């Protein structure tokens, strides 16, 4: 059964009787609460009329739980296995059409097999996404990094596994775990602390170390062929760009600070990507909810993260509080046939970009977009 509350849990209403015995997982689209997924264990009919093995199935509702439709995925249990269950569901927060499902099959002696399935079309089709998970003996849960959704963590009966390429491949990260029987897993909002619940207790893993001041660097890169700029605080992206020199992107030697975790006076920065101007592409960042909503409604742009990093915002006159330095945003005004923005704390850089035809964007007479901690 599925129950729904519309008053913060004070009262509940049964929304549907699904055919299975137990609801193992429930996931709600973060951009549309009417879209929900439920994983159930369903018995396979036996020719003799006796209960047969059980299989995991997923049902989807697009009207807030009023009606449910079975999706074309079924994790069947082999004859020697008692049952197979879809143990968790996870939705990409930036691209909710991407859905992940984990499964475990059980015999009388415990977990037998397990893995991950992935859908990129809202559950209409599924494919295995478990390269590196072939010997896990069961996957219990997933955690998607909200700051970088391509980075995913899996709780398994053989420890914790991490993917940095949206489940295309997995590697184990079990240093420090005294039990590899991991039941659940969670990542904090900043993507810096991973927590795993195991048979031996709760463990924490520091994904990356913030600076002693509680800040992280936002590094700027440039691509000379397009005269484009890109910024990131994501450690995986920084390592990749620095070590591989990905496709001509190089550091400009400019950077500014953001908060390592949300603060009372900070705001999450939305990050968007567009390939609508191919072969050129571009990213866009804003800490303002109104700008984020406008860009999200534009089909030319894809929301990559609702919290790429956290930063303070300026007052209406563009001023920053004490201890913060202004971050100026400049727009290339479509030069070269594709939009691009540059974010800088350097007034000399700002003046140079304006001289090249870039347009200041932001609050106040100096067009300030963000306020960076020192």
One digit per residue, the tens of pLDDT, for the chain of length 374 reads: 788 888 888 888 887 777 766 788 899 998 898 999 998 876 555 444 444 456 778 899 999 888 899 998 866 555 555 667 888 999 998 889 999 998 887 666 555 677 899 999 999 999 988 888 866 668 889 999 887 788 899 999 888 998 888 888 888 888 788 888 899 999 987 677 889 999 899 998 877 655 556 888 999 999 988 999 999 998 888 877 876 555 678 888 899 999 988 888 899 999 999 989 888 889 999 999 999 999 999 999 999 999 999 999 999 999 999 989 999 999 999 998 899 999 999 999 999 999 999 999 999 999 999 999 98
Same-domain pairing of 188 and 241: no
Same-domain pairing of 231 and 177: no
SS3 45: coil
Last residue of a domain, one of 146, 172, 206: 206
Same-domain pairing of 50 and 137: yes
The pLDDT assigned to 188 comes to 82
Last residue of a domain, one of 145, 175, 206: 206
**Sign of the dihedral defined by the CA atoms of residues 197, 260, 143, 117, in that order:** negative
Beta bridge partners of 282: 274
Same-domain pairing of 108 and 147: yes
**Sign of the dihedral defined by the CA atoms of residues 118, 120, 126, 132, in that order:** negative
DSSP string, 295-320: HHT-TT-EEEES-S-EEE---TTS--
Q: What H or E segment, with its residue span, contains residue 289?
A: helix 289-296
Task: Report yes or no on whether pTM surpasses 0.85.
Answer: no
Same-domain pairing of 260 and 114: no
Same-domain pairing of 298 and 179: no
Same-domain pairing of 199 and 219: no
Same-domain pairing of 154 and 237: no
Last residue of a domain, one of 158, 186, 206: 206
Domain count, the chain: 2
Same-domain pairing of 230 and 165: no
Tokens 């590697």 belong to: 171
Beta bridge partners of 285: 271
**Which residue segment(s) compose the domain that 360 sits in?**
215-373
The pLDDT assigned to 132 comes to 85
Same-domain pairing of 14 and 162: yes
For residues 257 and 237, what is the distance between their CA atoms, to the nearest angstrom?
16
Same-domain pairing of 161 and 235: no
Same-domain pairing of 202 and 277: no
């Amino acid at each position: 059964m599925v129950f729904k509350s519309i008053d913060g849990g004070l009262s509940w209403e049964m929304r549907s009787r699904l055919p299975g015995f137990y609801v193992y997982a429930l996931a709600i689209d973060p951009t549309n609460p009417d879209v929900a997924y439920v994983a159930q264990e369903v018995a396979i009919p036996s020719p003799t009329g006796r209960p047969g093995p059980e299989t995991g199935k997923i049902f989807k509702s697009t009207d807030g739980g009023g009606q449910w439709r079975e999706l074309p995925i079924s994790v069947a249990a082999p004859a020697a296995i008692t049952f197979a269950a879809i143990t968790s569901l996870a939705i990409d927060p930036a691209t909710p059409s991407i859905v992940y499902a984990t499964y475990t099959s059980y015999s009388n002696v415990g977990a037998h097999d397990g893995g991950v399935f992935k859908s990129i079309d809202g559950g209409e089709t599924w494919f295995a996404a478990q390269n590196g998970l072939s010997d896990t003996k069961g996957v219990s849960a997933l955690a998607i990094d909200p700051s970088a959704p391509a980075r995913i963590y899996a709780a398994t009966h053989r420890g914790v596994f991490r993917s940095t390429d949206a489940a295309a491949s997995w590697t184990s990260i079990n240093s420090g775990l005294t039990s590899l029987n991991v039941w659940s897993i969670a990542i904090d909002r900043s993507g810096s602390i991973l927590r795993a619940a195991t048979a031996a207790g709760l463990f924490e893993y520091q994904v990356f170390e913030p600076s002693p001041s509680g800040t992280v660097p936002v590094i700027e890169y440039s691509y000379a062929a397009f005269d484009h700029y890109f910024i990131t605080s994501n450690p995986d992206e920084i390592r990749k760009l620095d070590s591989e020199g990905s496709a001509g992107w190089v550091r400009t030697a400019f950077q500014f600070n953001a908060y390592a975790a949300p603060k009372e006076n900070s705001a999450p920065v939305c990050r968007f990507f567009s390939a609508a101007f191919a072969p050129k592409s571009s990213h866009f960042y804003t800490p303002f909810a109104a700008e984020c909503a406008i860009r999200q409604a534009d089909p030319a742009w894809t929301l990559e993260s609702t919290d790429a990093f956290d930063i303070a915002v300026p007052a209406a006159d563009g001023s920053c509080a004490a201890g913060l330095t202004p971050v100026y945003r400049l727009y290339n005004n479509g030069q070269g046939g594709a939009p691009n923005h540059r974010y800088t704390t350097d007034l000399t850089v700002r003046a140079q970009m304006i001289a090249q035809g870039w347009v200041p964007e932001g609050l106040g007479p100096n067009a300030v977009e963000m306020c960076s901690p020192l």
